[in-house]
Homo-oligomer: A and B are copies of this chain.
Amino acid sequence: MKIIDGGVCAAKGFKANGIHCGIRKNRTKRDLALIYSEVPASAAAVYTTNLVKGAPLIVTKKHLENGVAQAVICNSGNANTCNANGVEIAEKMSSLLASELNINDQDVVVASTGVIGQPLNLQVIADGIPSLCAGLSENASNYAAEAIMTTDVVAKEVAVEFTVGGKTCRMGGIAKGSGMIHPNMATMLVFITTDAKISSSMLAQAIKSDVQNTFNMISIDGDTSTNDMVTVLANGMAGNDEITTDGEDFNEFMKALNSITVSLCRMIAGDGEGATKLLECSVTGAKTLKDAKTVAKSVICSSLTKAAMFGADANWGRVLCAIGYSGAKVNVNKIDVAFKSANGTISVCENGSGVAFSEEKAKEILLEKEITILVALNDGEYSSKAWGCDLTYDYVKINGDYRT
């Protein structure tokens, strides 16, 4: 498996585009994205568990009941959530696009991100769809990646090449992380494309299983959005024998999928609102997988730990505290904690008690942009990772102060 360029257009038969249609006032900011497959593709998705759901998710869920899709349309600047006519608008977006592309209405994945509780102006989308489709290109993954950004600082795309049953396959993805347009909440959207041939039921199994250890292990601020969605389209154009069961081919597919999702997770976490650092919590030695995940997530979600990492402060007591209240079954007296970055690794806590360490060396390690918090529970065989970011002045600024 190797990393390649091309994002969601890396896989054979996929094109993309992103334009400014007018949902946003800033004319230099693209706000409407399109991903298109030359042929109908197996499709699967996972959705937010928030009871308050964006209208596009309701429509997409219905469209994906048959496991087939051919295009993804997504606007930024308005989440189309908590609007009385939201479902109607999302359905209309789908049918306008389907008609322009001459594909089936039901084969459209529709998504929105941005302001909630404000009417979405369908007219500007309708007006933009012809040029959106006309501009479809194999080199425009970055336009789509840009068009789904809200306050993301960095456009997020990644692609890999891998082999299934002797055939070269490709897979790529784009994502938006936590962003904010007033009055909005963080929304995560991920669109993945591949030319590998796989049945829609195996594709659904793959993505459902993968997100448990990837996107479900990110936290920027603990607020589960109303519009989170991850979708995968697999159009089969790589020509491999269709993956219809577990086995070696499926394993290769899962490996590729996991490399895409982990990359996007790290990008989303590192570009969290106001973030200056990517944090990874790596837990080993847990009694159960659930305990490992609970501990990793608890450390990553701890506001006190996140603020300490912002200040490059080796405040391991906060890590131990977050483990202690996580709900996981741990033996406190066996826990080791260390901090790691490109500048080295430093042990700060052994057997649940502090050890002498160089504050200077710790500072040097924690001033890096990517920090791993190593937690060894020394009480079992299970491990897990979670990703997040530091808590900064800019998080507060973006989310509280920008109107005053």
Give the one of A183, A186, A322, A400 with max B CB within 10 A.
Answer: A400
Is the beta-carbon distance between B317 and A82 smaller than 8 angstroms?
Answer: yes
Task: Name A33-80 residues within 8 Å CB distance of B.
Answer: 48-53
Q: Report the minimum CB–CB distance from A146 to chain B (whole Å).
A: 24
Is the beta-carbon distance between A395 and B307 smaller than 8 angstroms?
Answer: yes
Is the beta-carbon distance between B400 and A186 smaller than 8 angstroms?
Answer: no
Is the beta-carbon distance between B353 and A313 smaller than 8 angstroms?
Answer: no
What residues of chain B lie closer than 8 Å to A353, measured between beta carbons? Answer: 82-84, 117
- Judged by a CB distance under 8 angstroms, whether A315 is at the interface is yes
Give the one of A51, A183, A306, A354 with max B CB within 10 A.
Answer: A51
What residues of chain B lie closer than 8 Å to A312, measured between beta carbons? Answer: 403-404
Task: Name A334-364 residues within 8 Å CB distance of B.
Answer: 349, 352-354
Contact A311/B117 with A183-B316, A325-B49, A393-B393 known, Cβ cut-off 8 Å = no
Is the beta-carbon distance between B304 and A221 smaller than 8 angstroms?
Answer: yes
Is the beta-carbon distance between A222 and B301 smaller than 8 angstroms?
Answer: yes
Complex Cα distance, B352 from A81, in Å, reads: 10
Is the beta-carbon distance between B321 and A223 smaller than 8 angstroms?
Answer: yes
- Judged by a CB distance under 8 angstroms, whether A3 is at the interface is no
Is the beta-carbon distance between A313 and B185 smaller than 8 angstroms?
Answer: no
- Nearest to A86 among chain B residues (CB) is B353
- Judged by a CB distance under 8 angstroms, whether A399 is at the interface is yes
Q: Report the minimum CB–CB distance from A23 to chain B (whole Å).
A: 17
Q: Report the minimum CB–CB distance from A24 to chain B (whole Å).
A: 18
Is the beta-carbon distance between A399 and B311 smaller than 8 angstroms?
Answer: yes
Given contacts A223-B318, A307-B395, A311-B402, 17 further A-B contacts (CB under 8 A): A51-B330, A82-B320, A185-B317, A185-B318, A221-B304, A222-B222, A223-B303, A223-B322, A224-B325, A225-B321, A226-B324, A307-B396, A307-B398, A310-B401, A311-B403, A312-B403, A390-B400
Task: List residues of chain A with CB under 8 Å of any chain B CB.
Answer: 48-53, 81-84, 115-118, 182-186, 221-226, 301-304, 306-318, 320-325, 330, 332, 349, 352-354, 390-393, 395-404
